[in-house]
Structure 1
Amino acid sequence: MIPFPGATLFRYLSRVYGLNLLALSFILIGIVALFDLIELLRRAAKYEDVGFPLVLRMEFLKLPELMMTIAPFAVLFAGLFTFWQLSRRQELVVLRSSGVSVWQFLTPVVSVALLVGVLIVTILDPISAAFYSRYDVLEKTYLKREKSNVIALFDEGFWLKQMTDKGHAILHADRIEMPDWRLHDVMILFFDENDAFTERMDSPSAQLKSGNWLLKEAVLNVPGYPFRKSAQAMIPTNLTLNDIEESFSAPQTMGFWSLPSYIETLDATGFDSTRLRIHFQELLALPFLFASMIFLAACVAMRQSRQGGSFSFILIGVVAGFVVFFMSNFLQALGVSHQLPIFLSAWSPAMLSTLVGVSILLSLEDG
């Protein structure tokens, strides 16, 4: 059993690491946000109607998502800096010589990392999802200049709004049959450019093929005219199956608390929820990933305290952070492509990093 550190030591190490984490987070988010703002300004320079205030607003809406991205690096670098700071001031030497084990002085730092992870998942992630959804709309409207297609999925069925030559159309289907992408009990409402209703089309089934919605046994109702039946009708669209699938699986737009119910809705209507399931498991694993970053930081700090060399200390820490980052992305891609189970895809980075860190610390402690 690992002895719990004294209250004074716990508070001191927690405060030192917490302040370092806060400072490094501000520095990293400032650097990343500055480069991202420059990129947005470059893209906005093509359009005269996109001014600097709008670009600043877009960058502000994107900030929480950037914080989510840099959080693991901030945790790792703050851990590296904290242990380097303690080592430089000979505090680590004093702690070790007084009988404090590596596990005892790691406990406060790991506790702070776990707490930060929980706060990010439960508070920052929902805020990030809400902000990024708005940013995505602004980006498509002003920078990508895409036509406004809106796709939504509810318990009541599938809804889609797409632009047409004469205005826009709203499509509704009660259910979707996969993998053929056959929509059942379809209703399409047509509106002109002034949002005035023009006509309605009903069909027992429809499919998206070659840039058209193909409706079987369609019935067209135009106000003031008798309804017309057709064995087959075609509605042009600029949407593809990939566009629709991607709109349902964009993790950045779904908050932690909304994910479980939305995943259930996707499964009930036949859509592939793998990407969102992986994202949900990654959020659950995030506090433990942060803890593993502390173990890796402690490994680097303890080895370098024995061998010396500040440059190699920094270099090894940066390399460790990027290895974990790229490993996470690689395993996520394997999970999305169904080549790796969802649990392993999401939890492997945290588990492997922890195993490596703890193994090295055990060898250093016993050695």
Structure 2
Amino acid sequence: MLSDFFPSRTLTLYLAKLFVTRILAVLVMLVLVLQMLDLLGESGAILAKPGNGEAQLWTYVTLRVPQLVARFLPYSVLLATLLTFWPLNQNSEIISMRAAGLSAHQVLAPMLLTALVVALLSFAFNERVVTRATATLKAWQAAEYGAIPKQGGARANVYLRDGDNILMAASLSGRGPAMEMTNVTWYRRDAGSIVQGQIRAPRATYAAPGWKLENAVEFDVQGARSKSLGTVILAKGVTPEQIAISKVDPDAENIFELGRSISALKAAGRRTSELEGKWWHKISGPLSALLMPLLGSVAAFGLARSGQLLIRGVIGMALGFLYFVIDNAALAIGNFGGYPPLIAAWSPFFLFALLGETVLVRTEE
């Protein structure tokens, strides 16, 4: 029954092969151009760190490329859809398929199946590669492109309250009692939140209780003088459990880690609607690739000699890019509490799925 929805095996493989090659070509082109532009902007900051050289530039590329692939894969599927349908229509291959008795849905079926496979691969790639690369890159940037944290669970710009005082760290790595902070600053404040002094240290580890700051230097604001303290233990009210829920970066955690973080925040009575929206979007985001053949199919049908092929292509591209605009807007509104997280993450997907199917059915008629 399902096989009746697809054209012949030969035609299915032919369309799928055309589609896959164009997806890869467009994706490689976009990633190469954007990576070169991004590297031009960041190379100065990377090379400004003493000891950095070509190896660090390649490290940055390996960490940045997965982010670019994840972000622009749906765009690549959209452009590949248009680049596949346009020649097929221009060369009257679509007309031949329709004359052979294939419906518009049957012509589109191989590309929808290919897009579904791409969406599944994208989801796996995001969860296994992109989240780790994002966490490492953010921690490296927080360290001003110095030494890359070797432990897992890397985070950047950690901000914690210790009573009236503040504990800040440029980066944090590890989990539980094995947590380690770098570029640490402890601000001593009075009851009016006025800073009385600060203690800085390049490294801090958990001392159970408190945090052991090594090679610490104290600066007294009132006396405008500094002195070396060696090793001190501060912030005894700050625990690794508090740090675990103090700052959750959904882009740097996979779907299972983010789920556990959301549960921990809920147990602590924190607001989690933004993180829940990002959790659902980890699924709906990669599935947007499935929409692109449907939205771009407007360029496939209709007579090429009517002179409207260019207009149809522009309409297909506009529908695809409009989806991304509305998807980002819905997610932003959901972050502010305007939509429930489930609605914010999935409503654009189903809205444009219905829109694309309406266009396709209209074309069929």
TM-score of the alignment, normalized to the shorter chain, above 0.5: yes
Deviation at 1:132, TM superposition (A): 1.4
Instruction: After TM superposition, list the pairs within 5 Å mapping 1:211-222 onto structure 2.
Output: none
Alignment of 1:299 with 2:298, yes or no, is yes
Alignment of 1:198 with 2:232, yes or no, is yes
CA contact (8 A) 1:76 1:293 kept: yes
Deviation at 1:110, TM superposition (A): 0.4
Instruction: After TM superposition, list the pairs within 5 Å mapping 1:59-98 onto structure 2.
Output: 59-98=61-100
- In the other structure, the counterpart of 1:27 is 29
The residue type equivalent to 1:72 in the other structure is P
Deviation at 1:53, TM superposition (A): 3.4
Structure 2: how far apart are the matches of 1:139 and 1:300?
A: 43
Instruction: After TM superposition, list the pairs within 5 Å mapping 1:298-337 onto structure 2.
Output: 298-303=297-302, 305=304, 307-309=306-308, 311-337=310-336
CA contact (8 A) 2:88 2:300 kept: no
Of residues 186, 190, 211 in structure 2, which corresponds to 1:189? 211
Alignment of 1:163 with 2:185, yes or no, is yes
Instruction: After TM superposition, list the pairs within 5 Å mapping 1:104-123 onto structure 2.
Output: 104-123=106-125
User: What is the aligned-residue identity percentage?
Assistant: 22
Structure 2 residue runs of 5 or longer lacking an equivalent are: 147-155, 158-167, 187-198, 217-228
Of residues 149, 169, 172 in structure 1, which corresponds to 2:170? 149
Deviations 1:231-262 (A, max 9, x none): xxxxxxxxxx9xx86x31x2221123433223
- In the other structure, the counterpart of 1:4 is 5
Secondary structure of 1:339 counterpart? coil
The residue type equivalent to 1:57 in the other structure is T
CA change 1:49–1:353 in 2 (3 A) is same
Structure 1: how far apart are the matches of 2:295 and 2:357?
A: 8
Structure 1: how far apart are the matches of 2:262 and 2:284?
A: 18
The residue type equivalent to 2:345 in the other structure is A
Q: TM-score w.r.t. structure 1 length?
A: 0.74
Q: Quick check: 79-88 or 311-320, which moved more?
A: 311-320
CA contact (8 A) 2:296 2:317 kept: no
Structure 2: how far apart are the matches of 1:273 and 1:55?
A: 37
- In the other structure, the counterpart of 2:149 is none
Structure 2: how far apart are the matches of 1:251 and 1:204?
A: 23
- In the other structure, the counterpart of 1:103 is 105
Deviations 1:158-211 (A, max 9, x none): x78433425255579xxxxxxxxxxxxx94223231897533664599xx9xxx
Deviation at 1:140, TM superposition (A): 1.8
Deviation at 1:78, TM superposition (A): 0.8
CA change 1:119–1:82 in 2 (3 A) is same
Secondary structure of 1:193 counterpart? strand
Q: Quick check: 128-137 or 195-204, which moved more?
A: 195-204
Secondary structure of 2:270 counterpart? coil
Q: Quick check: 81-90 or 309-318, which moved more?
A: 309-318
CA RMSD of aligned residues (A): 3.5
- In the other structure, the counterpart of 2:283 is 284
Structure 1: how far apart are the matches of 2:306 and 2:315?
A: 13
Deviation at 1:72, TM superposition (A): 1.0
- In the other structure, the counterpart of 1:36 is 38
The size of the alignment, in residue pairs, is 314
Secondary structure of 1:278 counterpart? helix
- In the other structure, the counterpart of 2:352 is 353
Secondary structure of 2:213 counterpart? strand
Deviation at 1:151, TM superposition (A): 5.5
CA change 1:152–1:9 in 2 (3 A) is same
Q: TM-score w.r.t. structure 2 length?
A: 0.74
Deviation at 1:303, TM superposition (A): 4.8
The residue type equivalent to 1:14 in the other structure is A
Structure 2: how far apart are the matches of 1:306 and 1:258?
A: 54
Deviations 1:46-93 (A, max 9, x none): 666654432332122011111111011011111111111211222101
Deviation at 1:284, TM superposition (A): 1.6
CA contact (8 A) 1:114 1:287 kept: no
Deviations 1:270-317 (A, max 9, x none): 333323321221122235422211111002332574743565445334
The residue type equivalent to 2:298 in the other structure is C
CA change 1:259–1:298 in 2 (3 A) is same
Structure 2: how far apart are the matches of 1:263 and 1:153?
A: 19
Structure 2: how far apart are the matches of 1:317 and 1:143?
A: 42
Deviation at 1:100, TM superposition (A): 0.1
Structure 1 residue runs of 5 or longer lacking an equivalent are: 173-185, 209-240
Of residues 12, 16, 19 in structure 2, which corresponds to 1:17? 19
